[in-house]
Amino acid sequence: MALSLVVFGPPGAGKGTQASQLGHSRGIPQISTGDILREAVHAGTDLGRQAKTIMDKGELVSDELIVGIIRERLRRDDVEQGFVLDGFPRTVAQAVALDEILTGGDPLVIIELNVSDRALVQRLSARRVCGRCGATYGASDGEPPSICSNCGADLVLRSDDRKEVVLERLRVYQEQTQPLVAFYQDRVTFRSIDGDQSPDAVQTAIDAAIDIMAVTVVREERSSVG
Ligand SMILES: [Zn+2]
């Protein structure tokens, strides 16, 4: 059975880290819409130019454009054993489109990372990025680091990690993405994970949840057959 996975949660919940680890441990590609868009902008493709125009205006890339990107990406051969989506779906309309794209395939396994607003603001305001090589540094205990251990350049606060921007990103998340919980919560393949724990503990909880859900799905398939 292929493992079709979605990981979602608010900005700062650590979904990129978790999705990347899941990709490695399960041997499936991590598909990040943020990465795809950044690469397209960098490469100057048609898609990249369209996306850049929209993002430069501070607007969100449309559902239609993002769904098109995902539809294309899920046609590639490397998703035969599954995939982990990170940053998609971001709205209920995108979730509906994803169900449509996956019609007839294995059930989608959905993980929500549930993190308190207070923890998110704290984590994001302690996050730093290297001005030269782009390495990012998470919030460990105490003072955030100031020098890049990779290249020695100064670390800075990412412009979208400033507190007022963080609060706005959380507001947008509540309004546009939080409704995914109601959309998915009645499925046997949905789990909400406590994201206030350490990254290692979150990873362990996600792995356990996925394994339990895989068993549930197989059981349901058997009972519906026999
Ligand atoms: Zn650096």
pLDDT digits (tens, 9 = 90+) for 198-208: 899 999 999 99
Per-residue confidence (pLDDT) for residue 97, from 0 to 100: 97
Residue 218 confidence (pLDDT) above 90:
no
Contact 96, 184 (CB under 8 A): no
Q: How far, in Å, is the centroid of ligand 1 from the Cα of 53?
A: 28
Nearest to 168 by CA among 85, 64, 58: 58
Residue 225 confidence (pLDDT) above 80:
no
Contact 78, 29 (CB under 8 A): yes
Per-residue confidence band for 47, with pLDDT thresholds at 50, 70 and 90: confident
Residue 222 confidence (pLDDT) above 80:
no
Q: How far is CA 117 from CA 72, 122, 124, in A?
A: 34, 9, 11
- The answer to whether the pTM exceeds 0.85 is no
CB-proximal residues (5 Å) to ion ligand 1: 130, 132-133, 135, 148, 150-151, 153
Sign of CA dihedral 17, 109, 87, 13: negative
Per-residue confidence (pLDDT) for residue 135, from 0 to 100: 87
Structure tokens at 153: 């350049």
Per-residue confidence band for 180, with pLDDT thresholds at 50, 70 and 90: very high
What is the Cα–Cα distance from 71 to 138, expressed in whole angstroms?
32
Q: How far, in Å, is the centroid of ligand 1 from the Cα of 38?
A: 19
Over residues 133-159, the pLDDT tens digits come to 988 887 655 677 889 999 999 998 887
Average pLDDT, the chain: 88
Whether the bond between 89 and the residue before it is cis, its omega within 30 degrees of 0, is: yes
Q: How far, in Å, is the centroid of ligand 1 from the Cα of 158?
A: 14
